[in-house]
Every structure is written in C-alpha cells, then in structure tokens.
Structure 1
Amino acid sequence: MRTSYKGFRALFVHAHPDDETINNGATMALYAALGAQVTLITCTRGEEGEILTPELSHLSSAQTDALGPHREIELANAMNALGIKDFRFLAQGARTYRDSGMMGTDPNDRPDVFWQADLEEAADYLVKVIEEVKPHILITYDEIGGYGHPDHIQAHRVAMRASEKSKWQIQKIYWNTIPKSIIAESMEKLKEIGSDFFGAENVDEIAFAKADEFIDALVDGNSYVEQKMAAMKAHHTQISLDGPFFALSDNLGLQVWGNEFYTLVKGEKAAPFDEAGHESDLFAGVIA
C-alpha cells in the first residue's frame, strides 16, 4: 500500500443506502483517509426496505412511505463516519429511481422503480458522473447483483454499460464478492447462536458465496473497521444492533468486516500481493 493516494480516484456504484457500508465500508474509509477521491453513487433511496427499528415502522412504504428521505439522512451520517465527502444519488436533480423491492414482489412492476429503468438512459446519467470524476477504478456488483435483488442487478448493468459508453476509460473494474470459506465459517458461528441469517443449510446453496479461487483482491481495512461499524450503526433502520451483522463480529471478530474481497473483471492484477496471491491494493498498477 502507498502512504498517500492523492490524485487517485475511485467510484463505487450501489443500489441502496447501507449496501456501500456493508460491502465496501472499510475500503472506502481506508482510501479516503489516505487521500484518494472516493465517490459513491447510490441508485435508489431504499424506499421498500424492511424496517428493523419498531419505533420507525410508520415510515414503511405500506404506511407513510417516508423511508426514502429518512434513509438519505442515514446515508449522510454513514458517509460522515467513513470520511466520504462525495456521495450522490443516480440522476440526482433530474429524476428519482425508486427502490424495486425484492424479486417477484409487487413493487417490481411500478413504472418508477429502478428495475424498470431504461438501461441506456440510466447509464447516461452515470456516464456524466464518470466523465466529471474521472475514476481510475470502479467497484460494483457482479451480474447477479450479489444475491439477486433487482436493484443490485440493475446497478451492475448500469455501471458496466456506463463504463463502456464513457469517453473516460476506467483502468480497473472490480465486483464485490465474498469467498465460500468465509461464508461457511460465518454460517457455523451463527448456527451456534441459533441464527439462520443465511437461510441455507450449506454454503453451496448461497449464490453470492464464490469459490475462493475467484477472489482477486483482498483489501485489509481492519485499521478502519471501527469507522465501518459506526457507519453500519448509522443505517439503523436496516441494521439492528442485536441482529446478525453485529453477531458476526461478536463471534468471528471485527476482521469479518475489516477484510473486503473483490473479483477483477477489467485490468490486470498487479503487486503488491498477499501470501494467497491476492492483490492488496485496488489501485495497484493504476497510472494516476
């Protein structure tokens, strides 16, 4: 790792507020602290999210439908915890893409949801950001959006299409991923405390658990894991303090959130490498 990333630029594209913190919080905090320009684009405001804070249940889409504005505040607080200054919603100021809900649910069919967005139009909004920010690296989801949520899939499609359409050439593109070995260990620990968080009997049933050989990069963000945990707490309607996310760190240690894994889909792997042959720096080989 460099001691300074001044002049280096990273773009993260996510579907809902909280996705960025869960997937990339330590990575974002690390690079921002070391001087990189970190930009986050969030595609929806998460209006259909399940509310885990009982006293805020009235914000749900079935009641006052006020969860979206509340999650905007949560996102701002989370970004403050991570030290991120540049965070925006896709098409901000032009239009609002609404949360599509889980796959197969009624909100999928609303004309204003992100799942129904015209791909080229949505990509064009992101192209404007890319050509303004000029990121060296792009981080987003894989082709199934991690676990199959329509907005995650659409965020992947929009990010990849925008990277193709932009005149600015992004040097490296990474997809978020989690190795099977980590998921398997997490499942066992959660079973010990009676949690069925993953909703599966074994790791092979989990779509987002990738074979370890598909892991190209591992960012050690453990020096910034406290900032990540603070950001997770900021998303309090979505992440319960006594829920499985914090149970993972209680039972596996904070490194379960400090280590973040990636698959490289554009660009070449470059040193430095860890003992397992993973890149340890997403900017490795980048010409700034």
Structure 2
Amino acid sequence: MTLSAAPRLLLVHAHPDDESLWTGGTIARYAAAGVQVTLVTCTLGEEGEIIPEALRGLAVDQADQLGGYRVGELRSACAALGVSDHRWLGGPGRWRDSGMAGVAANAHPRAFAGGDPGEQVAALAAVLAEVRPQVVVTYGPDGGYGHPDHVRAHTITTAACAATGGVDRVFHAVTSRRATEEGLAALAGVDDLPFTLPPIEDLAVVDDALITTRVGVTEVVPAKLAALRAHSTQVSVWESAQGARCYALSDGRAQPIPAAECYVLADGDPTGADTDLFGGL
C-alpha cells in the first residue's frame, strides 16, 4: 500500500455475525497490519434462530431478548478480530432485524428493510464523512443470499458512498463456488463430521469468473474461528484432531472455512487489487 494517508477500511453488515461469516479473516488481517477498521452493523439481529437449547427463551416469540444478547456476542467477536471502532447504524436498536423475506417481522415498525432509506443513508453518510475510509465493503445487490436486510445494506451503502465521495473502492463480499466445492469435497472424507453436507446449489456462492479480489486469510483463521465461536447463538464451529474445520448455522449444514475471502470490485480502479483491497492505492 502506498496511500498518502493512513489506510482506513469500513465494512457495513446487516446483523451481528455477518462480519465474521463474510469478512472475518479480512478484518483480522487488516487490523493486525495496522489498518483502521470500522465496522457498522445495521441491526441487533433480533430475528435470528437460536442454536443452544438453554438460550431459546431469548427468541422473538418468547422473551424477545436475543438482540441484547447478541450485542455481547458481537463485542466478543470484535475483540477476537481486532476491531476497536464499531458503530450501530443510527445507534443501538434504531433499526430492527427484518427477518427473511415474507415473514411477519418484515412489517415491524422498526424493520430495517422497511425503514426510511433517506434516514439510513444519512446515518451511514455521517459515519463515512467522519471516518473517511478509502475502502468500503458490503454485499452485492442481492445481499449475498436475498435477505432483505442485506439487500438494504447494499442499497444504502451504495447511496451513501456516492453522496459522500472520497471512497476509492467499494467491494461486495462473495463466496467462491470453486473453493466451497473443494472444501465440501474435503469434508466428505471426514468420518466424524457433526454436520450434514449440503449440495452446492443450496449455498450462496458465485461463479469464480466474477471474483476480482481474493484476500488470503490462512494466517488469521484462528481469529476468524474465535469470532465465529463468539456468536454461539447463531454459529457452531467444528475442528477435528486432523485439522479439518468448518462451521454450521442453525440448519446444521457444513460450510468450509476458506483460505481466502473473496470480493467483487463494484467501484474504483482495479489496478493492484487482485489480492489486496488497498493494493495500488
């Protein structure tokens, strides 16, 4: 990196755990290198399904306290990844997890996906103007897998970057189809895998021809795993004595831990960005 100013990376994610699932290795790598990393989370993740039986009383149809619990999970994940600057968009709880498309939570008066886009863009633009990141990361137009909050995060990030100016590159976090296929094939040879192996068609992956940037994260995988474990209501992490490792969400389907996290450059000069979000800047 040859930036004239200190490198600053800002990531916009929809719920607690998304930062670790989609970009945990990237965050840990750049934070360890001294990059100023700012994480913006748009909701508390109130609608998430809960894995541990003992915590299911937190669910939205019971005590409806999952969001507050996940604040603590995210705090621990940020510590594992090296994030010292975390922001809740609009303040903690300003917008609520909308749930998947077509569920009753979509109509909640504070649902993020149904909120005023202008207010949301203004809230994010204020953070961008303060932090002045050279690089911004969020999801693609489909939100990665269609979740309304992910789609809205993409929409407002795109608009806020355009309104604020000064951002050199905007990246969309994606998952490599080839790397996922290879990871699932390796897991198929593990005898004691506690999760099921999904067909590749059931996972949110993209054709590798679309990927512009691959950030190697092998050296920081322990940090990513620690962050994933911090989100214990949402994620189960498994490692074998032989070194195989993967995670599963509440559906119990194994997903590999990649050696590189992948991105599509949505805006900015691609020169030097093959393996480094800041490369060539």
Place the TM-score, normalised by the shorter chain, in its bin. Answer: 0.7 to 0.9
Which residue of structure 2 lines up, in the alignment, with residue 284 of structure 1? 279
Within 5 Å, give how 1:71-90 maps onto structure 2: 71-90=70-89
**2:129 equivalent in structure 1:** 131
Q: In 2, distance between residues paired with 1:120 and 1:23? A: 26
CA distance in 2, matches of 1:13, 1:103: 20
In structure 1, the residue matched to 2:272 is: 271
Q: Tell me if the contact between 2:46 and 2:97 (Cα under 8 Å) persists in the aligned partners.
A: yes
* Cα RMSD (Å): 2.6
Verify the 8 A CA contact 1:8 1:36 in the aligned structure 2: yes
Q: Is the 8 A contact 1:10 1:37 kept in 2?
A: yes
Contact between 2:238 and 2:247, CA under 8 Å: does it hold in 1?
no
Q: Which deviates further from its counterpart, 262-271 or 51-60?
A: 262-271
1:247/1:132 CA distance change after superposition, 3 Å? same
Q: Which residue of 2 aligns with 1:177?
A: 174
TM-score, length-normalised on structure 1?
0.85
- Give the TM-score, by structure 2 length: 0.88
SS in 2 for 1:135: coil
Cα distance, 1:236–1:61 mapped onto 2, change above 3 Å: same
Residue of structure 1 equivalent to 2:97? 99
| Equivalent residues of 2:179, 2:258 under 8 A apart | no
Equivalent of residue 230 in structure 1, options 222, 226, 229:
226
- Whether 1:33 and 2:35 are equivalent positions in the alignment is no
Q: CA deviation at 1:189?
A: 4.6
1:155-179 CA distance string (max 9 Å, x none) = 111111111111x320001001112
Once the two structures are TM-superposed, the CA of residue 186 in structure 1 deviates from its matched residue by: 3.6
> Residue 248 of structure 1: SS of its match in structure 2?
strand
In structure 2, distance between residues paired with 1:53 and 1:240: 9
State the identity as a percent: 37
Deviation readout 1:96-123 (Å, 9 max, x if unpaired):
1000111111101112100101111101
Unaligned runs of 5+ in 1: 273-278
In the alignment, the residues of structure 1 paired with residue 266 and residue 81 of structure 2 have an alpha-carbon distance, to the nearest angstrom, of: 26
Extract unaligned runs of 5+ from structure 2: 249-254
Q: CA 1:100–1:197 in 2, change beyond 3 Å: closer, same or farther?
A: farther
Could you tell me how far apart the structure 2 residues matched to 1:71 and 1:261 are? 26
**117-126 vs 131-140, greater mean Cα deviation:** 117-126
Structure 1 counterpart SS, 2:257: helix
The corresponding residue for 1:118 is 116
